[in-house]
Structure 1
Amino acid sequence: MNNIGKRIMVIGSPGSGKSTFSRKLAGVVGLPLIHLDKEFWNNGWIETPKEDWVKKQKCLILGCEWIVDGNYGGTMDIRLEKADTVICFKLSRTVCLLSYFKRVITNINKVRPDMPEGCREKIDFEFMKYIWNFPKESGQANINKLEKSKDKQIIVFKNRRQAKQYIIEISNGKKEEVT
């Protein structure tokens, strides 16, 4: 397998395309895929308690190979310690918010494949606010953590075209890193 690594974190704003990219990447490189949203949320949008969530994540990354899709900044250090590659989607908040709207319209009252049963897609104004504020709040905190991780391969996509091109080039065995 190229130099992409065997323990890959995919992070970035909601609506940036992390889950779609992660599914495609897993299909190309053959690594098991873990969607953190599917692991965190319980039926009816009930959160996993913090202590249980920490334990669960430690178990999820015990394997030697994985792709983990999702932010969850409060527990990112758990994954970052074990990851060899971090793929960060750094798209504009407008693009992410528009993608969220499209996702809601397309999937309203349906359960997406990266979510657990009982978590139907819905319009969530607090979540929209989170997406809008992500670049300056959670997104910047993520970048600060990554800057301290000198031993990791960090790949940043500033638009979806870069992500698509990366998948194409990995599929063709040509790409090792996008700058």
Structure 2
Amino acid sequence: MNNIGKRIMVIGSPGSGKSTFSRKLSYITGIPLIHLDKEFWNSGWVETPRDEWVKKQKFLVEGDEWIIDGNYGGTIDIRLGKADTVICFELSRVACLLNYFKRVITNLNRVRPDMSEGCNEKFDFEFMKYIWNFPQKLGRRNNCIIEKNKDKQIIIFKNRRDVNRYTIKLLNEKNETNLK
């Protein structure tokens, strides 16, 4: 199926649709999904200590197949060293902020499936600033990573239409394979 790879990292701005896409990709391919937010955050939005976080990620990437959803720039090299495919979401700031607002309104005071128990969804002004500044700061870092790793399969989504087309293409390929 489309030679997407077996070790897939999904990166990009918060609110871009990484987690939703990753769930669909996992369903279509049967490859296990790991949400880094769920692994990093402890109940009450308590961060995992750095040394423990590094160990945890080294363990997570040892599997033969995985989809890992999330940025966590300080440990991105761990995932990148094992990934065969990098999917990068480069949607506009406005689209990401609108998606964030929709997500918060839909899940306010509830825990999303890609988060740890005790990490209820809330409006967070600092996080909104992070989303707004992402393309100029971390988005540039992601682009540099992609440029330096031409040996990996790189897939870049610039808008929701690209994401939907790709997902439909994968579904059609899966259906064709199942009919044979």
What does 1:26-41 correspond to in 2, within 5 Å? 26-41=26-41
Counterpart in the other structure of 2:66: 66
Distance 2:51 2:145 in 1: 22
| SS of residue paired to 1:119 | coil
Counterpart in the other structure of 1:6: 6
| SS of residue paired to 1:151 | coil
Distance 1:151 1:75 in 2: 20
The residue type paired with residue 20 of structure 2 is T
1:107 Cα deviation from its structure 2 partner = 0.6
1:2 Cα deviation from its structure 2 partner = 2.7
Counterpart in the other structure of 2:173: 173
Counterpart in the other structure of 1:107: 107
Find runs of 4+ consecutive structure 1 residues off by over 3 angstroms.
none
Corresponding position: 1:52 with 2:52: yes
TM-score, scaled relative to structure 2: 0.95
What does 1:132-143 correspond to in 2, within 5 Å? 132-143=132-143
Corresponding position: 1:159 with 2:159: yes
Distance 2:121 2:71 in 1: 19
Corresponding position: 1:146 with 2:154: no
The residue type paired with residue 123 of structure 2 is I
Question: Mind listing any 5+ residue stretches in structure 1 that lack a counterpart?
Answer: 175-179
1:172 Cα deviation from its structure 2 partner = 1.3
Distance 2:81 2:63 in 1: 13
Q: Deviations over 1:58-94 (max 9, x none)?
A: 0011101000000011110100010000000000001
Distance 1:47 1:147 in 2: 30
1:143 Cα deviation from its structure 2 partner = 0.9
Counterpart in the other structure of 1:80: 80
Counterpart in the other structure of 1:177: none
What does 1:20-31 correspond to in 2, within 5 Å? 20-31=20-31
Counterpart in the other structure of 2:177: none
Corresponding position: 1:93 with 2:93: yes
Distance 2:94 2:35 in 1: 24
Kindly, what percent of the aligned residue pairs are identical?
Answer: 74
1:171 Cα deviation from its structure 2 partner = 1.3
Q: Deviations over 1:23-74 (max 9, x none)?
A: 0000000000000000000000000011111100000111010000000111
Greater helix fraction, Structure 1 or Structure 2: 2
Could you tell which deviates more after superposition, 165-174 or 147-156?
Answer: 165-174
Q: What is the count of residue pairs matched by the alignment?
A: 174
TM-score, scaled relative to structure 1: 0.95
The residue type paired with residue 19 of structure 1 is S
